[in-house]
Each structure stands twice: as C-alpha cells, then as structure tokens.
Amino acid sequence: MPANETAPPVKKKGRRARLIVLVLVLALFAGLGYGAYWGVDSVRASFPQTTGSLKVPGLTGTVDVKRDAHGIPQLYADNDDDLFRAQGFVHAQDRFWEMDVRRHMTSGRLSEMFGSGQVETDAFLRTLGWRQVAQTEYDKKLSDETKKNLQAYADGVNAYLKGKSGKDLSVEHAALKLSDDYQPEQWSPVDSVAWLKAMAWDLRGNMQDEIDRALMSTKLSQAQIDELYPPYPFDRNKPIVEGGKVEGGKYVPQASGGSGSTGSGSAPAIGSQASTGTGTATGLADNATAQGATVGLRTQLTSLAKTLDEIPAILGPNGSGIGSNSWVISGRYTTTGKPLLANDPHLSPQLPSVWYQMGLHCRTVSPQCQYDVAGYTFSGMPGVVIGHNAEIAWGMTNLGADVTDLYLEQVKPEGYVYDNKVVPFTTRDEVIKVAGGASKKMTVRITNNGPLVSDRSDELGTVGSRAPVAGSAPDRGNGYAVALRWTALEPGKSMDAVFKLDKAKDFKSFREAAADFEVPSQNLIYADNKNLNGNIGYQAPGRIPVRGAGDGRMPAPGWDSKYAWKTGKDGNVEYIPQNELPFDSNPSRGYIVTANQAVVESGTGAGKYPYLLTTDWGYGARSQRINDLIEAKIKDSGKISTDDMRAMQMDNSSEIAALLTPMLAKIDVSDPDVRSAQKLLDGWNYTQEPDSAAAAYFNAVWRNILKLAFGDKMPKELRIEGSCMNVRADSRGPADELAEVVRECGTRGPDSAQPDGGDRWFEVVRRLVKDEKSPWWSSPKKGFTQPATATRDELFARAMHDARWELTAKLGKDQSTWSWGRLHQLTLKNQTIGTEGPGFMQWLLNRGPWNLGGGEATVNATGWNASSGYGVTWVPSMRMVVNLNDLDKSRWINLTGASGHAYNGNYTDQTTMWAKGELLDWPFGKDAVDKATVDTLTLKP
C-alpha cells in the first residue's frame, strides 16, 4: 500500500477543535486492552454483509446482490420498486458516511455535524437554496414514476439505517456519536434530488472566470485582459459539431458530416458575438474607471471568491480542472464491427471516489420491471448516471455553457433598484443549527436577478464607495451588493432524465431523455448496437439562457432591465429551445469527440450558430489530440480496438511542451548546472511519463514562465495565498526601485489561483511567443543574481534557472534521480475528516501518495495548478470503454473502490490499477455476472 501523506494544516479553528475531539476518541479506540478491542470492532462493525440473506422491509420479492472480487454489485429484481429499494440499501451499506455528509452539504447543514467552523459555508449554501429548489422539483416538476423510484430508494436506505448508529454505520459515525451523540436522520427522496444541485454547482461554467476578469480589471487594461482570454482557435482545434445550422426552429446537423476539416476559417473578430467580448459590453466601465476603483467591488468579489474556495467541491475545483474526455467510434472503423465508446470524467480526487459501479437488472424486462443497465452511479441517488443498457451506451463531458451571471445591485433599506424604481426584496429566514453551540439565524434576500450572495457574512454587508461600472450607474451610496443568477436555481426535471437515459433504446429516445437533462449542461455522446455497424451520436442538452445586453463575461448592472435574461410573454425566462441545441448523428468522418472544446462556432453569418453558448470553452488541447490519435490510427490500420481506446485514454503527450521545448533548447545558458538540466530536453518526445526527468524539468520551467510573465502581474486577489512580492505603491505592477515598493501577499486558494497553467494559458503563450518583446516578457530583477528581463528569451532563460534550483530543492541536485512522478503525486483524502482533520485522523482514513504521469490538458488529464505546485488536483475519476458488439467485453475502472469503509478490502483496491491505466472486465449478461460473482446476498421481504 502506498505510504500515507499528511495534508496541510486546517484553517477553520472551530471545525479543527471539533475534529480534535474526534481524534481523541479514536485514540482511545487504539489504546490497549479494552480500547484495542473497540478499535478493531469499530472498524469492522460497519463492513457490509455480502453473503447469506437479509430481510428488507417493503420488498415484494427477493433481490439478489451479486458482488465480484472488487465488491462491485449487480442487483437482480422482479419489479422497479424492489430494484431501487435494493439500490438504496446497497449504497448505504458501502457509502453511508459519504451520503450523510453530502446531504448535509447540499442542504447547508454541515454545522450540525462539524460545528461552528462550517457556519459560513452553510450560510452561503442556504443563500443559494439548493434544498428548497430540490423540494420544489420533487413536489411540482418530477414525474410520478420518478418520485416512486426516489421513494423506493429512500425506503431502502432507511431499511439499512434501522437500528444502526455510530460504529454500525462507519468509523467516522462512531467518532461523531461518541463525541457529540450524533444520530443520522431518515433519508428522504429530496436528499437524492438535492445531489443534482451539487453536481450542477461544480459544473456551473464560467462564474470563476467572471470573477477573475472583474478582479483583473483593478490592475490590468481591457486589452491585457483580452490577451489573457483569447478567442477559441477554431482554425486549429475542431469543435464537436461541424457544419450544422438552425433552420425552421430545429437544429439540422450537416448531412454529410464532413471529412474532418473544420471549415470554419479564421477565429471570429474581437467584439463579435462569439468573441471574448469586452468589459463595456456588460456595463462595466472602461479601464480608467476600473483603475480608479477603491476596495468596493474588489473586496466584494475577493470575499466571494474566497467563499467559493471554501465550499466543499464534491466534483472538483471549478476552473481549468473541471473537464472530461469522451469519444465514440463508428463500427466502420472498429475491430469489432460495432461502435466503441470511451469516457473519463475529470473530477476532484477523493476517497471514496464520487462514482460507485453497479448493475441494475430486471430478471425479465417488462412494464413492471423496466431496467437492465450497468455503469457508474452516485451514492445517494437512484439510477445509473453513465453507462450502458442492453442496446445503447452513453457518456458525458461538461459542456461548459454559461449558465451563471453575477449582477451588481444597488440596495436600499426597503429594497433594490430596478429601472429607477425600488423593488422590495423577496426574503427567506433560515436557522443554522450548530453542534456544540448556539444556532445562527439569517435572512436570505432575493432580487429578480437571484439571491444576494454578498449577504453571506458581515464582511460582505457593504461594498466600497466606488465600483468599476459605467458613469451612468445609479448613486453608489454605501456600495453595491452582488446577486447570482443561475439556471439551477429554477426547478427542473434532470432527475427524470436519469431514468429515461437508463431505459432509452435508440437515438430518438436518447434525445428525448436528454431534453430533460436541464442542469448541469453536459455533452452527451451515444452509441448503439443496431444495424450493420451500429449508430453513433451526440446531443448538447441543457437549460441555457438567452441574454439581453452583455455576454456574461463580467458582472452586469442589475438595476438595468436590458441586461436581464430575456423572458417570454408568460414572464418565464427564455432558454435556447431544445430543438435548436446542436446534435450530430452518424457523421461521415466516423467518430465524435467531446473534451470540453467548443461545441459549435457561434456568431452571425453562414455556418455560424445563432446563439451564444459561452465564450469560455476549454481551448481544445485534449480534444484535438484525441482527434489526431483517432485519425492517425484509422489511416495506419483502418481499425480501432478496445486496447487502442484504452491506450488513447493514457496518452501523456504535452501540447505546450511540443511548442516551447525547441525554443528552450536554443537558449544560451551559461550556468553549467542549468545547462545540464537543459540537456534533459534533448530528444524528449514531450510525453509526461511518471519516470521522466525531462517532463519534471519542463513542467518546472513552464510553471516558472507562467509565474514570471503573468503571475507576478496579477492582482493579489488572484495570486496564491501567501505568495508575497514587492510592488509599486500604486499596485500597478512589480516594483523597480526600493523606494517605491510595498509588500503585497496573494489571497487566493490553491485550487483557483492564477495562472493555473491550463490550456487557456497554452493559447495565451502560443500567441505571445511570436512577439519576442511583448510587455508580458518583462520581469524585474531579483536580488543580485537575477537581472531584469525584457524579452521572451531572457525570461525563458530566467525560468530555466529558477526551475533548475526549484527541482534541486525538491528532488535533489542529482538529475538522475529526478522524475515527474515524484513531483506529480496523488493523495486520496477521505471526505471532510480526512481532508481537514489532524494528522492522526488523516493517517487513519487517507491513502497515498501515488506517483502519476500525465498532466494539465493532456488526454491522461491528471491536472495540477501551476500557481500552487505540482500535486494532482483533479483526475480521470473513472475510465470506461464500452464494446457495443459484445457488452461483456467492455472494460471499466474506478479511482478508488466500491467501499467507503477504511480498511475494507475494497477501499482502494482499484487505485493502483487505475494509476497504471489498467481496466477491469465489466460483466453485464447474467452468465458473465455469475462467472465473476464471489459473494451473493439475498434480500428478502
């Protein structure tokens, strides 16, 4: 087992104090004699029963739970109600701690479990009102069938909970109960629905970019900001869908599908609908006004950004990290003669993995028992989210549609200003219960643009006297508040879509299911086993607003109705019609790739999509690499196998290394130690294998290029917390003379600090390297050894020097011992306690590190934030390859294992295989499942 690693110290004092109590309890468990007995007993007591039989109230017939050697269950029942009741029971057996923490998070009730350190987080989540929206969805939006399934699932969870508490549920619950007499409550259907809100939050789109651009405006000109957010390179990286159009109220894909060329011409001009846009487009002032702004909006947005950093990210850090790969190959180009479909969502590494592998099978499919499906589920929610049934397979990647907008609001005691009138707030009172402390009361204030997220704490009660907005803005008074408009705060039917996907039989029913997948907006790929070679397809679903003025790139003036989301005659928000969202079916090129690149090219004119989906796509580094790998394989052999798909998932090639390494090799280096490191790059093929010294050195150089060229020019609100530097007293740039300097330290958390090094920064640097004297290449002198730089090559030389000595400090002077994996490590951390608890608790619950290959914007997307270090911050959270010719020959792997119980044999039993790029057999048919089964549990009425 890999060695454990202690995480950074906890920042939240109230929560830390409570966790120390838990550690003392567990320390008693680990004592001698009676304590030792209870230590072992407490660990084992929660392990699930996997053989024999158990009675589950409410079942009408028996359900067989067949587990393979990795603890992955396949459930067999005779009706839907029994099937989902059993799913709830089995999820709770393996993952109830995860489920319990998650439901407290989604309802803003973490303080009930962990004390006063979570009050601010709960206040923010209560302000968003996820739980209220989920309740409304359940009451008014979801179908009767969906509600029946949700209730059956909840009944199964509660059947498991009956008579259990503390150590019977998990070692974490044992510690909570003994330290504070914590008793889990009954599961409800709304607990499951609320999970989709957390999923939508982590996949919400460009909200972080919107905040970052606004904060940049306090220090950078609009032209500089535009350089840091270049338009998508349509001339180089293909969008998902090519050549389609909206016609007669419907999206019509290109009939021929094209031959692989983009056919898009050059990138759209700055200022067009599909371009990066400008600050003035959203109502923010020009840079002169922004430069003169005081701490008002800057403080407001900084505090909001800090709050976002502290919200528990169930799926991962929002920003460059949230992504995924998926692609599907027509049977014309596969060795099997039927489609192959691959998917690997890139999410936050956590223990246990966010995914839970499972099969849901009706012994006989009928109107009373409709499901025969297997794949990846979410603990706490019924159904299969990604996977396949007997006839179709599907995968998902984040579409990245812009579905969030921040609005500045002029507030008065009696309400907020809208079109020169004062409108009363809609309010909601909330009470936050705090374990070991007094309850906290709060009032949520809501405008027509959404809840005031700036009301989350006293710190954000007011803003400064000035804010970067146009001169026509209303009287600032005590400042502006900030409201959040987000599609997920409107009740929807995404839970219906999950069950419809599980039952879909063809592309038509698949698209009908996708129409209900309103939030989060995902790229859905499709394959089936019909016809000679099967069919492949793509659908962009989602509730995506049609904006008025502005493009969603900067906070908008909430007092002006022309910036509001458009509404129809019925007063409801106008979304892009589902029939007009892009899709594709059996393109002639024979494959479809989605990896967070642009879906289509938006704009006016021939061949352009008429609606703005977002301006903040991923920049296509991964997607184009996958396209190139597929095309090369087809050209070479004409056919692609399951093993080829797996090999593509593990591709470690670095696009930015291929661009910069030839330039770095030409730099004249005088320092012999730096020159020795430079020679590591000779003959390197730009692949980031874990044992590669060249990859270690290049990534260190890349990190230092970013720091010198961009990081040191960022406002402190975007720089990594604790990074301090001397700047001019007017805060407009690095200091040149000691007489003019002040000390300024960064405040941003490690997951969202900039520059993060993602493929947006690839594109920034790709454009700038053509200008050897760009102002971005200037960097002040450092001490007596590092002279100021004014050109690209001077800055590159300094970055090579800094990288050499950084790696000497981290890995030693002997370059023969360097490797990328020693820098680029993954540590899996148990939810909540394992993340923020003291060292002993982390040692008990966490696992790792693992040395990994891959990197930022590679297909094997083991992401890292260049501002904060080389540690892995997001990963392919699972990998699957579905073989539509023989479903029993499909392959899959999870990041961790089926079990959420520390020291269970299935806690992290898949992780080492995952790290090596290995896949497990994925049995589906009854014979294959029976052959793989090692434990059978029968659930009885």
pLDDT in tens, 218-252: 899 999 999 999 999 999 999 999 988 999 999 99
Compute the distance between CA of residue 244 and CA of residue 261 in angstroms, rounded to an integer. Answer: 14
**Nearest-angstrom CA–CA distance, 688 and 766:** 20
Q: Highest mean pLDDT: which of 256-265, 743-752, 857-866?
A: 857-866
Q: Which residue has the higher pLDDT, 278 or 695?
A: 695
- pLDDT, tens only, 143-178: 999 999 999 999 999 999 999 988 899 988 887 776
Q: Hey, what are 655's tokens?
A: 């696009």
Length of the chain: 941
Q: Report strand pairing: 583-585 vs 825-828.
A: unpaired
For residue 38, pLDDT over 60 is answered with no
Q: Which helix (H) or strand (E) holds 707?
A: helix 693-709
Non-local (6+) Cβ contacts of 577 within 8 A are 249
- For the segment 679-703, the average pLDDT, to the nearest whole number, is 98
Q: Which residue in the block uniquely carries the two structure tokens 């209560």?
A: 126
pLDDT digit string (tens) for 464-497? Answer: 233 345 556 665 555 688 899 999 999 999 999 9
Collapsed DSSP state (helix, strand, coil) of residue 180: helix
In the prediction, which pLDDT does 1 show?
Answer: 37
| Contacts for 903 with CB less than 8 Å, ≥ 6 apart | 43
Residue 185 has pLDDT above 70, yes or no: yes
600 CB-near residues (< 8 Å, 6+ apart) = 239, 240, 241, 242, 244, 582, 609, 613
Question: Over 80: is that where the pLDDT of 20 sits?
Answer: no
550 in Cβ contact with 282 (< 8 Å)? yes
Res. 302: pLDDT tops 60: yes
Please state, rounded to an integer, the average pLDDT across all residues of the chain.
86
Per the model's pLDDT, the better-predicted residue between 303 and 386 turns out to be 386
- Of the pLDDT bands very low, low, confident and very high (cuts 50, 70, 90), residue 28 is very low
Alpha helices in 472-606 (DSSP H): 494-503, 507-514
pLDDT tens for 534-577 read 999 999 999 999 998 888 888 889 999 999 999 988 888 999 99
- pTM, rounded to two decimals: 0.90
Question: Tokens in use for 482?
Answer: 């900030």
CB 491 within 8 A of CB 501: no
* pLDDT in the model for residue 307: 67
CB neighbour list of residue 44: distance below 8 Å, 6 or more residues apart: none
The pLDDT confidence band at residue 285, using thresholds 50, 70 and 90, is very low
pLDDT band at 867 (very low <50, low <70, confident <90, very high): very high
Phi, psi of 447 (to 5 degrees): -100, 180
What are the tens digits of pLDDT across the range 889-906?
A: 999 999 999 999 998 999
Q: Which residues contact 672 (CB under 8 A, 6 or more apart)?
A: none
Note the pLDDT of residue 456: 82
Among candidate residues 682, 693, 702, 703, the one with its CA nearest the CA of residue 853: 693
